[in-house]
Structure formats: structure tokens, C-alpha cells
Chains A and B, each alone.
Chain A
């Protein structure tokens, strides 16, 4: 076998984490993107900046704050404990929470751009044809923003796969639970197992390249009516 069982376990965990995170981001990022694309509120700037923060913040900073917030002495940690969920750090769902924050801009920004690109007019046209606001969202806004959703989904997924700093801070390095592929490579290097590190790193390199190749080769039908 080319990859060891631990490697496969790490890859499976990584894909599961990226998949769950992307699904949550579709549900969470879409309303944020919709609001940012449509609002004239003065909160648009601050909210947009907060969403974009993970783009520039060192992952360890984000991970550190999440660890503090979700930990036993943090406000969210106290809440999750009171609710009987327990503490999130060093669990899979802790990683999911961290990844959702970490990849949020990769979901929100492409979707927001797609919502902004078609403007008010198609929605107004739908309104004059008898479509309620919710109806307009699902039958006009979503189909028109579909290319943006595809881009956002791919980027969010790939970005979560490439996560390292946040994972290490709030997930630690528990085999099968929080040890994702990037952390596994780090372990190999620490242990000077360069051969193993090469194999896993190569897999990630090829994967990332293929994802980006698909993204940049894909030409959505941009002709407009």
C-alpha cells in the first residue's frame, strides 16, 4: 500500500471535516452573503471586514481566540457545557467550528459577488410576475448565483483541506479524531520520517492542483439576457 492506514485515516478525517464545513458554510454563508449584497445598512462595512478577517489573520491567532472562547473558562465553552454538549476544543466538532470561521470568507465573498452581479432587476421582474420574496430568492437569485456557489463550495472545501494552524490550536493532534492530513505531515517531519511526509504531501499537492485546475478551467455560461 502506497499510504499507511494512519495516512488514510488522516485523509478520511480531512475530507469529512472539509465536507461538513462546506455544507455548514453553504447554510451559514448564503444569508450573510445575501445580506451583504443587498443591505444599505451602515453595518455592511464592519460585518464585511469581520467576515474577511481570516484572510489576513494568522491562523494561530484565530485558533488561539477560538480555544479561549470555546474552552472551559470561555463564554461559549460555559454555554456548551451547560447545554450538556461538553467542551468543543480537541474534538471533531471543535475543528468544524474553527474551520467554519477560517473558511467563511471563501464562501461569503464569491456568493456575495454573484448576488451583486445580477443586481435588483431580475428580482424586480420576478416580483412583477407574482413571486413572493422567498420564491424570488429560490427561483431567481439562487439559479443566477449558481456559478458563484460552485466557486465558493470548491474554494471553501479546498481551503479547509489546507488548514493547519487553526487545527493545531483547537484540535490538537489526536489520531482519528483531530489529526488531519496537514498535521500528519507535520508529525512525520518532526519525527524525521521524510519518506512518509513526501507521500502524503504529494497527495495533497496533486489534490490541490486538480481542484484549482477544475476551478480555473470551468467556464460557466456567462452570457446574459
Chain B
């Protein structure tokens, strides 16, 4: 919640601690054990991130009530879904679930699919209409995912991307209080994926219910997640606000090709002459290539560690446009013995920098020092 900047007020953070999803689970299978004891936030998108076989989908299925063998406890906003004496069956949990392969009903039209859940769930298990949990009407779900022109078709006549959008609309049309998404983009090729990502970003911006988003794709996580839970071999390796986890020096998390952080910002200024945008982010301004984003638009920035270098003095004769004062928080080892990762703080936000071990030595870098971070490239996500 601290990373989003949009809704980071102290009272929100406190309230969400009492709410949210409590999952203490154990699931034993031959050769695999899932063991989780976590509190997940009541708002925003939480990415369940890990390799295939790490247990992230199993965890999602447990929360949905699709794994009957799981032992433990699941509470949602204080409501017991599972403990030693209670088992709320899947069809009575107020969830929406998006499967990896859409799993539309082939014998129903698109509209029939959308209505299937809407008829059964609406008014049952869902909360009162005036609460701020983001009730979705069927029309809103259709509009949000841009599937109005597909309603009469059969699922067999849809493309993979269209099917997945219908799957998402179907899950939203039940007015869930918790949205569970199991790698909704994994079965799609790159083109379809790029077609759907904007819809997911809209969901992220407009949905007020918590979303658990299973993924093994770092780029999806960077674009969509507010929180992250990293899983490996059935265990949780780390969890927390996205940037706190990404900037940890002891975790080998790579955003795509490299270590880096993701920051939320807002487009403040456009420099027509040089085709640049100034994005305010953690009270600093960063120049980046003009992607056509509108002034005032909320955007996400990705800053990779390899694009950040460190100087002791502000350099005025440099090709690098973004030079900002930064405080060194800690230093850590990198994947190669010649390199070190430096965790910096720029106006309250953690940023990673990569330097050679030799230059770290020569500059005498140490925690608590003030230095200048030269940021060579900022990617708008």
C-alpha cells in the first residue's frame, strides 16, 4: 500500500491489517508440500509469483475452496471460509475466479456464460450495494472488458484473447468480493497478451476489491502488482509491498532481465521539443521518453539497477538527464563477484544501483552516505 501513493493513508493501512485474507494452510501431496501462513492485504493487486510447481496456483485453489485436501484456516475479512470445523464450499464463497484457459462453457453463448454466474451469485453472499467493495453490473463488466460485440457468439468462435476477456467479465459479473486470477495471460501468445494487459490495468485502476494474481511473468507483476508474495517449493520466500520486496538485496528476484524497482508516478510535463516527459515520482521529477501518456496520468516506472550509477558530486557535464540526491541504505552482493548492488533511497523510495566492486571500493561507498544517483533510463510501463 505504501508503494501505490494513491491510497496510502495511515488509517487505510491499519484498517487493511484487520481485514484482508488470512491463509494458514498445509497441503500434502506425494513429492510436494504447500505450507503457507500469510496475511494478504484487503486492497490492491497481490501477485503470487514463482516458478511453475512453486505452489502458487495451489494456494489460489485452496483460497477458492477447490482443494479439499488442504488443512488449515482461511479467513476473508474476518469471515471464516475454512478451519477445523468449517468448510464453506466454493459455490458459497464470494469470489470470482479466472482460469488460465478461460474455461468458458462451450454449450452457452458469451452472454449465457456471463449470466450463468450473475444469476446465481447476485444478491447471495455479495454485500450490500452501497458498500465500497466495487459491485459490478453485467453491463459494467462487458464495457470494462470491451466484449459488447461478442455477446451472441459461441466460445468456440472467439480468439484466445477474446475468450480470456469473457472469462474475466464472467468472473466480475458475479460481483465478487475477492478476485482470483490464475495466470490469465499464460496460455496466450505475446500479441494476445499485449491485447489484454491494458484491460488488466483498467481492472487494477477501477476495481476496489482485492485481487490475487498468480503469475510467473515478471513484466506482468511489474505492471499490475501492488503487493507480491514470492513462492518457491511450496513455501513463501517473501511477501510485502512490491517495492519493498523488489529492492531487497538478499532475494534473487529479477524483473525480466535484471534487478530493479517499480515506482508509481504521475506525468507532470511534456517537452515537445525533445520528445520527453517529466514524471513526478516520490517528490522528484524524472525525464523519460515521450510515450504519448497524457499529462496527469498515473503511470508506472521501472528503473533497472544496471541503469543507475553513483557519483559523489553532482555532475553537470554528463549525458544523463536524471541526477538525484540519494542516501545509501545498504550494499549487497550481485550475481557476479565483480559487481555489487547498492540500495539507495531517493525521496523515500528505494532504488537499486549496480556498480563494480572496484568503484564501490574507490568511492568508499557505505550505508548512510549521501551520494548522487544518475539514472540513465526510466521505462514507462
In the assembled complex, the CB of B302 is this many whole angstroms from the nearest CB of chain A, namely 33
Q: Would you give the shortest CB distance from B233 to chain A, in whole angstroms?
A: 25
* Residues on B with beta carbons closer than 8 Å to the beta carbon of A133: 91
Please measure, in the bound complex, the distance between the C-alpha atom of A139 and the C-alpha atom of B113, giving whole angstroms.
11
Contact across chains for A125 and B91 when beta carbons are under 8 A apart: no
| A130:B121 contact, CB within 8 angstroms | yes
Interface 0/1 of B148-161, CB less than 8 Å to A: 00000011101000
Instruction: Say whether B273 faces chain A, with CB atoms less than 8 Å apart.
Output: no
Given known contacts A124-B90, A223-B156, is B117 in contact with A130 (CB within 8 Å)? Answer: yes
Q: A124-B90, A132-B91 are in contact. Are A225 and B121 (CB under 8 A)?
A: no
A129 and B116: CB pair below 8 A?
yes
Contacts of B117 in A (CB 8 A): 128-130
Residue of B at shortest CB range from A146?
A: B107
The B77-119 residues at the A interface (CB cut-off 8 A) are 89-92, 95-97, 99, 101-107, 116-117
Q: Which of A122, A129, A140, A221 is in CB contact (< 8 Å) with B121?
A: A129
Within 8 Å by CB of A225, from B65, B104, B120, B171, lies: B104
- Find the B residue at minimum CB distance from A121: B103
Tell me, rounded to whole Å, the shortest Cβ–Cβ distance linking B327 to chain A.
47
Tell whether A143 is near chain B: CB-to-CB under 8 Å: yes
Query: Among B90, B99, B124, which residue has its beta carbon within 8 angstroms of that of A121?
Result: B99
Q: Which residues of chain A from 120 to 169 have any CB-CB distance to chain B below 8 Å in the complex?
A: 121-122, 124-133, 135, 139-140, 143-144, 146
Does B163 reach chain A (CB closer than 8 Å)? yes
Distance (Å) between the CB of B106 and the closest chain A CB? 4
Q: How far is the CA of A121 from the CA of B66 in the complex (A)?
A: 10
- Name the one of A146, A221, A225 contacting B105, with C-beta atoms under 8 angstroms: A225
Q: Does B170 contact A (CB under 8 A)?
A: yes
Contact B66 A223 (CB under 8 A): no
Which chain A positions have C-beta within 8 A of B66?
A: 124, 127-128
Q: Chain B interface: which size bin?
A: 20 to 34
Interface residue B174 (Cβ < 8 Å from any Cβ of A)? yes
Closest chain A residue to B95, Cβ basis:
A128
Contacts of B154 in A (CB 8 A): 225
Q: How far is the CA of A125 from the CA of B156 in the complex (A)?
A: 17
Whether B105 pairs with A140 at a CB distance below 8 angstroms is yes
Contact B105 A125 (CB under 8 A): yes
Q: Which residue of B lies closest to A120 (CB)?
A: B66
Rounded to whole Å, the gap between the CB of B167 and the closest CB of chain A is: 9
Q: Any chain B CB within 8 A of the CB of A224?
A: yes
The answer to whether A128 and B120 touch across the interface, beta carbons within 8 angstroms, is: no
With a cutoff of 8 Å between Cβ atoms, the chain A residues found around residue B121 in the complex are: 129-130
Question: In the bound complex, what is the Cα–Cα distance between A40 and B170 (angstroms)?
Answer: 31
Give the residue name and chain of the A residue nearest to B65 (CB). A127
Known contacts A139-B116, A225-B155, A225-B163; is-contact A128 B90 (Cβ 8 Å): yes
Q: Is the CB of B103 within 8 A of A225?
A: yes
Asked whether B185 is an interface residue with its Cβ less than 8 Å from the other chain, the reply is no
Are A225 and B174 in contact, with the CB atoms below 8 A? no
B375 interface contact, C-beta 8 A: no
Which of chain A's residues has its CB closest to B167's CB? A125
- Known contacts A124-B66, A225-B163; A129/B106 CB under 8 A: no
- Report B's interface with A, CB cutoff 8 A: 64-66, 89-92, 95-97, 99, 101-107, 116-117, 120-121, 124-125, 154-156, 158, 163, 170-171, 174, 180
A selection of 19 A-B contacts at a CB cut-off of 8 Å is A124-B99, A125-B97, A125-B99, A126-B116, A127-B89, A127-B90, A128-B117, A128-B180, A129-B91, A129-B117, A129-B120, A129-B174, A130-B124, A130-B125, A130-B174, A133-B91, A143-B105, A144-B107, A225-B104
Q: Which 5 A-B pairs have the closest CB atoms?
A: A129-B117, A225-B155, A130-B120, A128-B97, A130-B121
18 additional contacts (CB under 8 A) given A126-B105, A128-B95, A225-B156: A124-B90, A125-B97, A127-B65, A128-B64, A128-B91, A128-B171, A129-B116, A129-B120, A129-B121, A130-B91, A132-B91, A133-B91, A135-B120, A144-B106, A223-B106, A224-B106, A225-B103, A225-B105
